[in-house]
Amino acid sequence: MTEGTDDRGPATPARVPEITAEVRDDGTGEISVDGVVERVQLATLAEAGAAITARVAELAGETGRPLPVKVRDPDGVWSLLIHPDGVVDEAPEDEDDEVAATSGPVPAVTTDSAPSPAVTPPTTPAPTPPTTTATPVVEAAATPPASAPAPSTPPATRTRSSDKARDTGQLPTLDDLLAARHPVSGGPAEHGWRAGVRRVTFGTIAPGPGRVEQRRRVASASVRRTLDGPKTVVIINPKGGAHKTTATMLLAATFGLQRGGYTLAWDNNETRGTLGWRSSHTDHTNTAVDLLSALPRLSARGTVRIGDLDQYVRTQPTEQFDVLASDESSASVSNVDAASFRSLHTVLSQFYRVLVIDTGNNMRASNWQAAVALADQIVVVSTIREDTAQSAAWALDSLRASGREEAVRKAVTVLSAPEPKVDKDLRGRLRSHFGALTRAVIEVPHDKSLVSGGPIDYDALHPRTRDAWLKATAVVADGL
C-alpha cells in the first residue's frame, strides 16, 4: 500500500488552520488559530518568538506537515516555514507577499488555507526577510521625508545616496548618509525575533539583521569611528530645565558604552550644577574645584597620571564613563573662570577621548565662553516647549552675532519631548527653525524613568529611548 493511501483511496490532507501572530519588543505577543487568540507574555521578544515558534510546530505536528507562516515583529514582516519537529526555515516569497510588504499594512501572520502537500523547505534560505516602512527616530531637519525607507541591502550592494535619488526618485535621508559613511556590518541578527529563531534552531537558520538592527549597527559604527585626537562636545541652552544635564549624561553614556570608556561628562557650571546629582555616587564627593586646587601639587612631579584622577572623578561602571561634578558645597564662594576651565581641559584631554561638557545658564560667564571656544561640536538642547526653545534660539543668535556662525552651522539640535504627547504644531515650527540654523535636528522621546530627576539609570531606559540617543550620538560623532 502506498504511503498516504488506504483501501478506500488517497487520504484526505489534514486541514491547515488559519494562523496569525505578532511579537513585540516588550516580550508580549499573540497567536490566533482560526480566530481563537492565545496571548504570550514573556520577558523578552526572543523568548516570545520562541514560544510562538513552538506553538506553530505543535500545530504542524497535528496537521502532519510544515506550516508556512508570515511573522510580524518590530522590524517588519517576514516568512517562515515551521516543521513539526520545530525546525524553522525561511519560506520563499510570492509576488502578492512582496506587494503587501511594501505597499501597506499587512496582517500579523498569514497562511494559505490549503497549501500544497508537496511544500518543501528551500535548501538555501533567503537571508533577508521583507521589511515594512519604519520612521527613523532621527532625521536631518533640512531633508524632506522620503516616500519610502531606504532598501535594506548588504554593504557590498548598498547604493550611494546620489544613485538612489537618480534611480528611484527618492530623496536620501540621514540614515542613508550614515550608512554610506559607516556601512552595516555583516553577520546574523543579534536582537529581536530573528535572533530568537537563530537560537531556537541552534544556528541552522541565521537570518540577517532587520531594519531596526541595521540602523542600530550603522549608528554604532559612527560612534566608534576613529578620532584624530581628543574631542570636546559642549551642551548649551541658557535656561534651566532644558534637559542639558540629561543630554550630557546620555551622550556620555552612549559614547562610553560604544567606545569602551575614556569618556568624561563634565559639569562646567561656574558655581553649582546638577550633573553630580544625576550620576551614580562614589566614595568621595570631590568636584572640579577640588581637582583645580590639586593641580599644582599633582603637577609637581612633572606630570599628572590617570590614577591621580580617581579621587576627583566619579566612575559610572555600568556605562563606562566618568563624571566630573561642579562645586556642590552650599558654603563655597569659589567660581570656575576661563583660566580655570582651560587648565582643567588641558589636563583632562590627555586622558579622555571624548569630553561631553554641560554648561551653566550664564552665557556671559568666562568659563562658558571658554568651553564654547574649545568645542569641536556644539549641541543645543531644548524641550519641545516655547520657553526653552526660545532660549535655545536666542543662544544660537548670540553665537552668530559674536562671530561663531560656522560653529552654529555645524551644531546639532536635540529636541526632547517633555511629555508623552507633544504639540505637533510647535514641534514642526521648532524643526523648521533649528533645521535652518544647524546641520541636524534630532528628536528624543519622553521616558518616564527620567522624570524623577534622580540618578540616571541607563538600563532603566526604554529601548526606544536608548536607540534615539544612540542615533543622536552618531550624528554628534559625525561632526567630530
Quick: pLDDT tens for 326-344.
876 544 546 788 999 999 9
pLDDT at 194: 63
User: 169 or 419: which carries more pLDDT confidence?
Assistant: 419
Q: Are residues 244 and 332 in the same domain?
A: yes
Least confident piece of the model among 72-86, 188-202, 389-403, 457-471: 188-202
Run of H or E residues at 416: strand 412-416
Type of residue numbered 244: K
User: 212 or 131: which carries more pLDDT confidence?
Assistant: 212
Grid cell 560653529 in the structure block, residue: 407
Run of H or E residues at 343: helix 338-348
Work out the average pLDDT over 422-431.
94
pLDDT over 90 (residue 357): yes
pLDDT at 142: 38
Task: Give a three-class secondary structure readout of 83-146.
Answer: CCCCCEEECCCCHHHHHHHHHCCCCCCCCCCCCCCCCCCCCCCCCCCCCCCCCCCEECCCCCCC
Grid cell 537560537 in the structure block, residue: 199
Q: Are residues 206 and 258 in the same domain?
A: no
pLDDT over 90 (residue 59): no
In angstroms, the CA 272 to CA 52 distance is 53
Cβ-based burial of 68 (10 A; exposed 0-12, middle 13-18, buried ≥19) = buried
Q: Are residues 360 and 464 in the same domain?
A: yes
Please report, rounded to a whole number, the percentage of residues in the chain having pLDDT higher than 70. 68
Give the three cell numbers for residue 403.
562671530
Contact between 49 and 196 under an 8 Å Cβ cutoff? The reply is yes
Residue 262: count of CB within 10 angstroms of its CB: 17
Type of residue numbered 424: K
Q: Are residues 43 and 160 in the same domain?
A: no
Contact between 313 and 323 under an 8 Å Cβ cutoff? The reply is yes
Q: Which residues contact 147 (CB under 8 A, 6 or more apart)?
A: 170
In a domain, 215, yes or no: yes
Contact between 400 and 394 under an 8 Å Cβ cutoff? The reply is no
Run of H or E residues at 197: helix 192-200
pLDDT over 80 (residue 195): no
Last residue of a domain, one of 199, 220, 241: 220
User: Residue 202's pLDDT band (boundaries 50, 70, 90)?
Assistant: low
User: 239 or 197: which carries more pLDDT confidence?
Assistant: 239
Residue 307: count of CB within 10 angstroms of its CB: 7
In a domain, 111, yes or no: no
Run of H or E residues at 67: strand 67-73
Last residue of a domain, one of 103, 132, 153: 103
User: Among residues 232, 230, 268, which one has the least CA distance to residue 374?
Assistant: 232
pLDDT at 26: 85
| CATH at residue 329 | 3.40.50.300
Last residue of a domain, one of 41, 76, 103: 103
pLDDT over 80 (residue 173): no
pLDDT over 50 (residue 358): yes
Q: Where are the alpha helices (DSSP H) in 402-455?
A: 405-409, 424-437
In angstroms, the CA 51 to CA 414 distance is 39
145-162 tens-digit pLDDT = 333 333 333 333 333 344
User: Among residues 344, 238, 355, 359, which one has the least CA distance to residue 287?
Assistant: 344
In a domain, 134, yes or no: no
In angstroms, the CA 102 to CA 83 distance is 27
pLDDT over 90 (residue 383): yes
- Tell me the β-bridge partners of 356: 233, 265
Q: What's the total number of domains in the chain?
A: 3
In a domain, 135, yes or no: no
In angstroms, the CA 74 to CA 331 distance is 52
Q: Are residues 248 and 381 in the same domain?
A: yes
pLDDT at 197: 62
Grid cell 498516504 in the structure block, residue: 4
Q: Are residues 319 and 182 in the same domain?
A: no
User: Residue 5's pLDDT band (boundaries 50, 70, 90)?
Assistant: very low
Q: Are residues 258 and 392 in the same domain?
A: yes
Give the three cell numbers for residue 451.
522624570
In a domain, 276, yes or no: yes
Q: Are residues 351 and 216 in the same domain?
A: no
Contact between 374 and 345 under an 8 Å Cβ cutoff? The reply is yes
Q: Are residues 212 and 237 in the same domain?
A: no
SS3 (DSSP) at 223? helix
Q: Which residues contact 350 (CB under 8 A, 6 or more apart)?
A: 230, 304
Q: Are residues 340 and 423 in the same domain?
A: yes
User: Residue 168's pLDDT band (boundaries 50, 70, 90)?
Assistant: low
In angstroms, the CA 10 to CA 2 distance is 9
Please report, rounded to a whole number, the percentage of residues in the chain having pLDDT higher than 90. 37
In a domain, 112, yes or no: no
Q: Which residues contact 183 (CB under 8 A, 6 or more apart)?
A: 155, 158, 218, 221
User: Among residues 384, 389, 378, which one has the least CA distance to residue 440?
Assistant: 378
User: Residue 30's pLDDT band (boundaries 50, 70, 90)?
Assistant: confident
In a domain, 113, yes or no: no
213-263 tens-digit pLDDT = 678 888 888 999 999 999 999 999 999 889 999 999 999 999 999 998 899
In a domain, 172, yes or no: yes
Q: Are residues 330 and 415 in the same domain?
A: yes
Q: Are residues 177 and 245 in the same domain?
A: no
In angstroms, the CA 210 to CA 195 distance is 10
pLDDT at 80: 76
Side by side, the strands of the sheet bearing 88-90 are 36-41, 28-33, 19-23, 67-73, 76-82, 88-90
Q: Residue 447 sits in which domain range?
A: 229-477
Tell me whether strands 377-383 and 231-236 are parallel, antiparallel or unpaired: parallel
